[in-house]
Amino acid sequence: MSAVSPDPVRSLSERLAAQAGARDRTGAFPHEPLASLHAAGLIGLTVPERLGGGGAGLAQAARVVGALGAGDPAVALVLAMTLLQHGLIHRDGTPWPHALADAVGREAAVRGALINALRVEPDLGTPARGGLPCTLARRDGEGWRITGRKIYSTGAPGLAYGLVFARTDEAEPRVGNLLVPMSAPGLRIEETWDHLGLRASGSHDVVFEDVFVPGPHAVDLRRPEAWRRPDPWQQAWSCALLAALYDGVAQAAQAWFGQFLHARVPGSLGAPLASLPRFHEAVGENARLLSVNARLVASLAAETDAGRPPAPQEAGFVKLTVTENAIQAVQRVTELCGNAALSRHHPLERHLRDVLCARIHWPQGDAVRIAAGRAALGV
């Protein structure tokens, strides 16, 4: 499958944007839009060509996620999580059994099968901050049985697979990922997602009650201490895709603001707001931030595609800087628009709610700064 040209992606983004407000109001999961992404070859974009996928690297994946994020970031987030996993599991040196990785890749390319990592738990929070997961995998013959609960499981109603982070019941527990078909007996989705932003992302709870998976589906089990160091590849892919997504939200807000300024003609002025230097400066400042964002994401993606992912700390800097720039840009537009910005008749209030979700996605700002400070001080 050849690489996807930007024009179909832009067209898809426009179609997503037309219905994004309705999905935001109801929180309905975007099954139909995701089917459209599959028809365009985007679900399998980062699957190797030998498996029927697009063979794209991080740079192209980030461009696609950013463009779709401008249309509907909830849909783009579900796609980003699948692109991320396929960007990682088909690399040389992956711990995955090759036959299993190939099978999951073919399913993504051929039938649009989605996959996401299910990691966060009610008591633990994100395992990236340390601690053992409560979700338990116990031996059952040649396979495993999984019991536990995962929260904030993005894309849950549409996933074919969940990559479940669990600990084993062995005398010396191992921790890691087990690939679980979402149709497995004993697995259920509880529709708990009712958040401020990204409302159509279907980030519900997933409950596992003695769910059986075959032995080879334990794709990456390690001693707990082996998970303490972030993987540069995973960090680069995750940070670049999330940065691109939220930059897309800011791009949409900036575009709407431009249209608003040209259309709004106050009676006291007798000319469009776009004629005022105050707004020239504001739009120019946002353009500066978004230009910096584009260069940061492109640089991170290019280094990674060249086989030289930067240190995890630097990828975290990119995610943090790009997303804070995006938030600042949307907030500036909101402040200058006045009441129109917060009216549900316009998309800007949704862009504001959506872009603020950037602060929740790992790595969060405090974690990035603390890790950098400790490294700088040698403590």
Q: What is the pLDDT of residues 232-265, one digit of tens each?
A: 999 999 999 999 999 999 999 999 999 999 999 9
| Across 70-84, 224-238, 314-328, least confident range | 224-238
* Section 337-361 average pLDDT: 96
The reported pLDDT for the residue numbered 3 is: 52
**Residue ranges per domain, the chain?**
6-112, 118-227, 232-377
pLDDT digits 0-9 by tens, 202-221: 999 999 999 999 999 999 99
The reported pLDDT for the residue numbered 131 is: 84
Look at the chain and count its residues. Answer: 379
Task: Name the CATH superfamily housing domain 232-377.
Answer: Butyryl-CoA Dehydrogenase, subunit A, domain 3 (1.20.140.10)
Classify domain 118-227 at the CATH topology level: Butyryl-CoA Dehydrogenase, subunit A; domain 2 (2.40.110)
Task: Indicate if the pLDDT at residue 183 is higher than 50.
Answer: yes
The reported pLDDT for the residue numbered 125 is: 82
Q: Which of 362, 356, 349, 360 is nearest to 24 (CA)?
A: 349
Task: Indicate if the pLDDT at residue 128 is higher than 90.
Answer: no
Q: Could you name the CATH architecture of 6-112?
A: Orthogonal Bundle (1.10)
> Residue 358: pLDDT band by 50, 70, 90 thresholds?
very high
Task: Indicate if the pLDDT at residue 6 is higher than 70.
Answer: no
CA atoms within 13 A on the CB side of 374: 8
The set of residues, in sequence order, having a beta carbon less than 8 Å from that of 153 and lying 6+ positions away, is 116, 118, 120, 159, 162, 189, 203, 204, 205, 206
Please report, as a single letter, which amino acid is at residue 113: A
Report d(CA 285, CA 289) in Å as an integer: 6
Task: Indicate if the pLDDT at residue 4 is higher than 80.
Answer: no
Asked if 126 and 119 touch (Cβ cutoff 8 Å), the reply is: yes
* Section 24-30 average pLDDT: 97
The proportion of the chain whose per-residue pLDDT surpasses 90, expressed as a percent, equals 92
What element of type H or E holds 116?
A: strand 114-118
What element of type H or E holds 129?
A: none
Report d(CA 72, CA 351) in Å as an integer: 9
pLDDT digits 0-9 by tens, 260-312: 999 999 989 999 999 999 999 999 999 999 999 999 999 999 999 999 999 99
- Buried (b) or exposed (e) across 27-44, using 16+ Cβ within 10 A? bebbeebbebbbeebbbb
Mean pLDDT of the chain: 95
Report d(CA 233, CA 119) in Å as an integer: 18
Asked if 28 and 60 touch (Cβ cutoff 8 Å), the reply is: no
pLDDT digits 0-9 by tens, 131-148: 899 999 999 999 999 999
pTM, whole model, 2 decimals? 0.96
The reported pLDDT for the residue numbered 2 is: 47
The reported pLDDT for the residue numbered 1 is: 43
> Residue 195: pLDDT band by 50, 70, 90 thresholds?
very high
Asked if 347 and 197 touch (Cβ cutoff 8 Å), the reply is: no
